[in-house]
Amino acid sequence: MTHRLKLGWKASAEQFGPRQLLDFAVLAEELGFESAWISDHYQPWRHTGGHAPFSMAWLAAAGERTSRMTLGTSVLTPTFRYHPAIVAQAFATLGVMYPDRVVLGVGTGESLNEVPVIGIEWPDSRERFRRLSEATRLIRRLWTEDFVEFEGEYYCVRGATVYDRPERPVPIFVAATGKVAATFAGRQGDGFICTSGKGMELYTDVLLPAVRSGAEASSRDFEAIEKMIEVKVSFDTDRERALADTRIWAALALSAEEKVGVHNPLEMEDRAKSVTNPERRWLVSSDPAEHIEQIAPYIELGFTHLVFHHPGDDQARFLRLYSERILPRLRERWG
């Protein structure tokens, strides 16, 4: 392994308000989790009991309340609601305040978070990817150059300078669910992000080979690209409770076709009611040995940064259970 194994926690911004989520992050660090990753949503996947705090404000607060853990977005879309120059300024500031602790995780976005806010027609995947590629190039230039002149297909800046920049630029991790974005992650990303529970063939036959292909085409070291995966886990001493906890995230079990074009959290919530087996996206267990074996295939594929996303409302209970029964076993076996 080029990267040592890192074990992190997903801060579910769609499920908890910012103050409660911040307290969980502090607890996670105290219990040995090495990173915390927040989603950047304007609207949650459900209206009832939903939340959507502003990720960049939360990251700044989390940086002040913690001292060691890596903090990042999983993921932010720097192409519609946010102009990439503003993202560059915001994450440069975070990088100055919390050096070597901040990561910008980016993706092509979801209509749920963009269409209602800026009133656009949701573009096809090709345009969304081209925007992401261009935005990433612009952000990197703003982190390394003064008086940047940029005339792209979608974005334009005239003599722009980000004045407060960290000594080392903030790493950019690229999220991908398909071959094109995964290839881009290999070409330009410092890291690659995906999620568990989508069938092992997706990782072995599509995503990881595409990251490698992109890296090799750009004369980059595939092994140097950090491979991060959000692992959907529902672990509890009570298996029935673990199963029941997945219900709140039933929308995750909807197909891409069922979710695309949905702009209203109430509609997404209604569609999720039709899901009869929400647990299929989660590694559900009450037995530590069994749970380690559920996680093992992802590590054996080469993922070295595992970010655990637990669906239940009692996150403090999960964090304590996981730190006592799962994290030590993972570190003992894989280092």
> Of residues 110, 114, 134, 230, which has the active-site annotation?
110
CA dist 330 and 7 (Å) reads 9
> Of residues 14, 34, 41, 230, which has the active-site annotation?
41
Close Cβ partners of 110 (under 8 Å, ≥ 6 residues apart): 77, 259
* 3-class SS shares of the chain: helix, strand, coil, % to 5: 50, 15, 35
CA dist 25 and 30 (Å) reads 9
CA dist 318 and 135 (Å) reads 37
Sign of CA dihedral 217, 134, 142, 76: negative
Q: Are 18 and 52 in contact (CB under 8 A)?
A: no
**41 is a catalytic site residue:** yes
> What would the DSSP string read from start to end of 2-39?
-SPPEEEEEE-TTTS-HHHHHHHHHHHHHTT--EEEE-
CA dist 139 and 83 (Å) reads 10
Q: Are 40 and 108 in contact (CB under 8 A)?
A: no
Tokens 């669906």 belong to residue? 311
Instruction: Give 49's DSSP letter.
Output: T
Sign of CA dihedral 307, 312, 313, 315: negative
Q: In the chain, which ranges are E strands?
A: 6-11, 35-38, 70-73, 102-106, 148-151, 156-160, 172-175, 191-195, 226-235, 283-285, 305-309
**Phi/psi of residue 318, each to 5°?**
-60, -50
**151 is a catalytic site residue:** no
* Amino acid type, 304: T
Catalytic residues: 41, 110
